[in-house]
Structure 1
Amino acid sequence: MSADTIKLLPNLLATVELARSLPVSEQRKEVLQVLIDYTQDKVNNGEELNLNFICTHNSRRSQFAQIWAQTAADYFGIPANCYSGGVEVTAFNERAVASIKRNGFRVTKKGIENAVYFIFHSDDQGPISTFSNLYDDAINKATRFGAVMTCSHADENCPFIPGTEHRIPVRYEDPKVYDDTPEEKNKYDERSLQIASEMFYVFSQISLDK
């Protein structure tokens, strides 16, 4: 599927256009190049691309990254399975869920405690499913995946992650530090938009032509 055939939800499309207009610094491009190279190699070799975005609690940054990476991959027609996980189970934080809704995704959920969220980016495709889980949960591809480390704590305290083909540090600052402050809403949206910008940059660099 190509960008021509994916019709993003209108409010989400506006967020994507904003995200793609943001500059990606040369320093961040260098960080992201490892993810680009891994993704391009999988595409070139016709292999299944599994990306597991990992953060300690799997509640904010890793789920932002999973959602935006899958959206960007679908937008550019790159076959990818994007997951997220952690080393502890908590819940998809309600502040992060609210930010995703403000970004223009349509969100439904099942359950109450550690609910499963279904994130829709289009009327034409099924949802992205996400909830707080361990990186090796059965819902994730437990073997042959790229482990994208989105927080410093998980990156520094998980020296070995079974099933990892390549370990890719792409760290983000935690919006949690702004919880219950006047800046909370803006900082969550700022982090989500940064991740959106970088995931769209990554997948825009991938060529499907061998």
Structure 2
Amino acid sequence: MKNTLLKFVSFNLVFLSAAIQAEEARTNLDAHVHGVSELMVVAEENALEIQFKSPAMNLVGFEHQAKSSKDLKAVDKAASTLRQPEALFLMSDAHCKLINMSVDLSKIIDIDHQDNDHDRSSSNHKHEHNDNGKHHDENHSEIMVTYKYHCQDSTSLPSITVNLFEFFTGIEEINTMWINQTGQGGITLRHNNRTINF
């Protein structure tokens, strides 16, 4: 699984340009864009891994450290939702059971506020950001979630319906890449097109 995941992660933008429609390929998957999230799905034999990455703005409505009661409630609500993958991802015919989950909120919440049993690794970067025509450097906080499943046979998984849009209205599209034993592909999911077909 690790070798397949590493190969998958190393795919370059040439592959993405071919796999995603021309308009969608113009979106740089490494860029932090409000409204846009990323999803990676890797299936191999009995293993299935789903990685979801999103600007915090899409999920909680802000990117600063949560300090106020209102902000902390928003983080708790997002964390609770992200810990319910059975509602977020509808899988058909693979008989998959969740074996591990990691929800990383470390860039928007103090470590003291986090539960001790969750991964505290972080993802944060600076980049040029266009806000009403003004370019400036900003720190942008991201939320990263990993779900690992054991399946009877991941090759029998024909599709996954992604319901993140239903729970997080800040998500407008999800740039998705997938790989399994029979191929690989990419798609941009939207509210009216939420299914990954393998």
TM-score between both structures, scaled by the size of structure 1: 0.29
Q: Which entry has the higher C-alpha Rg, 1 or 2?
A: 2
TM-score between both structures, scaled by the size of structure 2: 0.30
Point out the structure with the larger helix share. Answer: 1
Point out the structure with the larger strand share. Answer: 2
